[in-house]
Chains A and B, each alone.
Chain A
């Protein structure tokens, strides 16, 4: 038997398998990779393929399986063993990131803002190994307020002005000039005052006369953003296998994507809501899976992805992020009994009464309440049989 005929045979079978979708692509690719170049005969190859298909089909879920319950248990059970504390990010000592149980709860709660939002920003390929470029981009991203580069902000009562003095070292470090800051202040306060820039100082003369106006304006000027993007309070540069990567404290995906020389394909944030707004629901689903898995792995919890995928799919099934809990999935169940049995019992019962709802009793809780067989597993099958009838025929 020549080698080429075997290869031809293999290719034929692979393409057939691919067309028939009998194996998931991942398994098929692995099989293809492992089987080629080990010198198999036609018979051996066929046997291996049959073997693989057989064991795949044996591993399929059975209809009626309570996959939801199993997923909930598989995620909930290791929760008892997880830490409660916030730990420092692996390697980046400066950034603390919520992990363990609190983070997991944050994810399933679909919180609007995570307690420690953070981004991981890769640089464009051509400058990825350039430290200076990394520094430059970090400067572009990090949000700098007037007060963080000023050495002193005071109110000059004689001149009826706000006197801002800058720290030259800080200014240099952040590559800022007085002019840039003056522009930023001007843009922010608009007609509320005049800005006069000097050597390392800025005077702002408010249009209002009273002392209260002066105070208010001074507060406002402190908070003026001169550089960077909103919400990103701190940027750390890290070298990861020859490439520089930026880690941020605070997250703003929309604005970060617009920064030049940032690799938009690799940017990452742990803020699910931002991902939803910028990239859409499919990306959010993947982000939920990714985040939950990384939390569990970090804690050394061995949980199958399929459980997490199910949770993520359930949370994103109707196009928006839905929380696991009374304001999300459990609160929008069809059955009033199931909702009443979870939380806020009275509200749901009264609501069902006035709306005259009909409970179709398709869920689990409802049937447990009524003491009936639940529609899961062996309970999801109806057997129609007349024992007397079959006997009399004989």
Chain B
């Protein structure tokens, strides 16, 4: 901001303290004595709670103190002179502790001079050795409270009892006497500065007697604005209500004192004043009923304004509202680069970027100003060299104003394609929840984003909304581009692997493309490569006669950068006991040599999201993020074109089994049911052997569960035999695109046992789950075994159990999000100050060393290779591979 001729200052430190009565009077502009707000004309009563000297809140009025109008008047404090002092409830505990530690007669600390001397020495020493003096003070308070008699004047000490919230009693054998705030204040006034220091109270910032209020500050009206309802009725802020209460009781107390009213009445009023003051500060103090509004709602007083999630601290200070932001529904666009975000034109015409006019962009800027605020590549505001801001909405002839533009002006132009913006989706659980994208202005009303960034944002398109922020300074834009751009965030710091990658149809398509049977003619290859934007040479076809044909592997290989070598097992791998490697009959052993797929199919393991040690991981490690991004973007476009041309869908057919298979599944289930019944019988005959450490019933349950699980698995296996790789659903499950083998067998064969709290469903009615069963029925069906498949449909009883299991899942998720959210917040506040210093140590904010080297080896996990600081195999291969080639040559 220095460029704007402004100097910025940095706050170096903040000191806390209490306001002394004199301070309060000094900063007060008016003494408030009238417990009323407005007169009949609706004008603020002078010396009342809304006195115009305290600032104004109604538009058009002028502040009597500073002469400013609303918005410019900062507000001014007033004060109330209390007829009798009252205690600040928040400090009652401290007051009680201090009173116990000082003599009731001479008001010195109840320690001998030698002891005081000793502690004073320690007080000097502690900060030098990096210890906190707070612990010393605690010690002193404790020791002094034990003294029976004063070592200075010999006075015998009495026990002091704190009755919450604000009463302190002196307990002697004769009975207990309440100490009035006046008594307490008198004692505290006598305590010397040195003694206060030993007791942990900094007399320069606060003397404890100031916490017994003789005068009370009245905050400016801007702090407690009143609202005018539609009916014209004024509704006052809770704080104003409380202040009115205080003033009213204070006046009554004063009148009674002046009139010499009986002690009893005075004490009652005093007590009432104390109550109002206590609730004015904190309306949640235990021991007294909270002050309530007429409607019965508890008032929101000072403490409530600060406290908790919606309080000032967490809601307004730690998190702030911002300008230059937008929010709308998101939708996918497979043609966008992962670095881009599609921004609706309507949004782009509202969000602006300040651009300084120079001789080089003068004409361009003039054109923007002429286009104005309504047409897209336009401009909303103009800031002249003298700092005056022109709103182009209200300029009649923009061409006139455009002629006045000269270098030095600032044009707030519309957001345009190529600008960098921050894009965010809540909950922002990790740093990849806010990434920088390049703008692409587009028609329609949704933000468009590439599917590759769905995993880091955890976004889908069932109505999700996202936020967009426009950085306004050159520094912010540079940082966003260098540090926060999507391609810089591909590698997750959580595990040192790519978190961005292909998903769902991309994976199915890659499998379809790269499996052995796929061959394409020149025409088709050209088409595919063109949509992907491939600009290199076409590799010679694998089959030349009768027509030139290219394999899918060849096409995919054209996008893999040269020099990439990796081999791994694909997701379709059957995990055979002995791996045949290159000879795998499922083509699941992937070998890539110098950027060419020689064996294997591409599926989730090769370039899926969150897949470490994959092909994509190798590309970004070896060739950098730009190459990786280009690879992913072009392969993505290729695969989308491929799968749209080919078509890929799943229907009822895909989960329909031949009659023979259904019959076998039925037999399996019947057998399992019989076995379960046998188990129950043995149990009922008391012949079941209990597992060690388990009761009979637990053993039975476990065995039944095992039996049924086994039945479901073998039914699934039967279904699996009939579902081959010609089945879309199987392709999706095998390649890792979507769904699992279990999902498939649930659809085709049998849904299986429904569990609640990890057990079979057992509750509901007395001794049974549903009235359709006999009491004590432990059979498979009676305890939630669903023998139907999703395809055949569930009967009502099965449906019921299924719903019970499903409900538990939902409840679980709801509970989990809140508990894990709280854990993350705690981890965050505990660790956020940690930083790597220039010497490589990890230190807290005050400079305490936590680690001498981060993670014991100083390696950044996001720069590591899936946790390893150096991938030695790659390093060796790099050197040997190179020299091998040269040796051969």
Contacts and interface: CB of A to CB of B under 8 A. Distances in A.
Contacts of B872: 27, 30-31, 34, 52
A371 B655 CA distance: 59
Given A63-B837, A341-B318, A356-B15, A80 B429 contact: yes
Contact of B90 (A55, A94, A346): A346
Contacts of A341: 313-314, 317-318, 829
B16 interface: yes
A71 interface: yes
A47 B851 CA distance: 32
A104 B883 CA distance: 49
A369 B820 contact: no
B493 A74 contact: yes
Interface stretch (B198-206, B216-224, B728-736): B198-206
Interface in B844-889: 845-848, 850-851, 854-865, 867, 869-873, 875-876, 878-880, 883
A302 B612 contact: yes
Given A44-B879, A59-B859, A345-B307, A302 B831 contact: no
B855 A310 contact: yes
A101 to B, nearest CB: 6
Interface in B1-41: 10-18
B835 A375 contact: yes
A167 interface: no
B14 A359 contact: yes
A372 interface: yes
B91 interface: yes
B859 to A, nearest CB: 5
Given A72-B828, A80-B817, A341-B317, A236 B823 contact: no
A106 to B, nearest CB: 11
A68 to B, nearest CB: 3
Given A78-B494, A336-B16, A51 B878 contact: yes
B754 interface: no
B816 interface: yes
A346 B306 contact: yes
B100 to A, nearest CB: 16
Contacts of A193: none
Most chain B beta-carbon contacts within 10 A, residue among A60, A360, A370: A60
A74 B430 contact: yes
Given A76-B827, A105-B823, A353-B18, A369 B13 contact: no
Given A61-B836, A79-B823, A378 B479 contact: yes
Given A68-B834, A73-B430, A56 B869 contact: yes
B176 interface: no
A72 B208 CA distance: 40
Contacts of B870: 23, 27, 31, 52, 55-56, 59
A234 B693 CA distance: 8
B431 interface: yes
A353 B90 CA distance: 11
A349 B11 CA distance: 19
A362 interface: yes
Contacts of A330: 826, 829-830
Contacts of A78: 494
Contact of A380 (B429, B831, B835, B862): B835
Given A68-B834, A73-B430, A341-B318, A352 B494 contact: no
A93 interface: yes
B684 interface: no
Interface in B482-503: 483, 493-497
A70 interface: yes
Interface residues of B, number: 104
B296 interface: no
B851 A310 contact: yes
Contacts of A59: 859-860, 863-865, 869-870
B624 to A, nearest CB: 12
B831 A77 contact: no
A372 B11 contact: yes
Nearest to A341: B313
A44 B882 CA distance: 10
Contact of B824 (A34, A68, A77): A77
A309 B855 contact: yes
Contacts of B693: 94, 234, 236
B226 interface: no
Contacts of B836: 61-65, 67
A62 B483 CA distance: 13
B168 to A, nearest CB: 17
B525 to A, nearest CB: 37
A325 B823 CA distance: 9
B833 A345 contact: no
A356 B16 contact: yes
B7 to A, nearest CB: 13
A101 B494 contact: no
B831 A356 contact: no
A70 B855 CA distance: 13
A328 B831 CA distance: 12
28 contacts: A34-B873, A48-B875, A51-B875, A52-B872, A52-B875, A56-B870, A60-B859, A63-B836, A65-B854, A67-B835, A67-B836, A73-B430, A75-B827, A76-B823, A76-B824, A84-B816, A94-B694, A234-B693, A236-B692, A306-B861, A307-B855, A338-B833, A352-B16, A354-B202, A357-B15, A357-B202, A359-B16, A378-B483
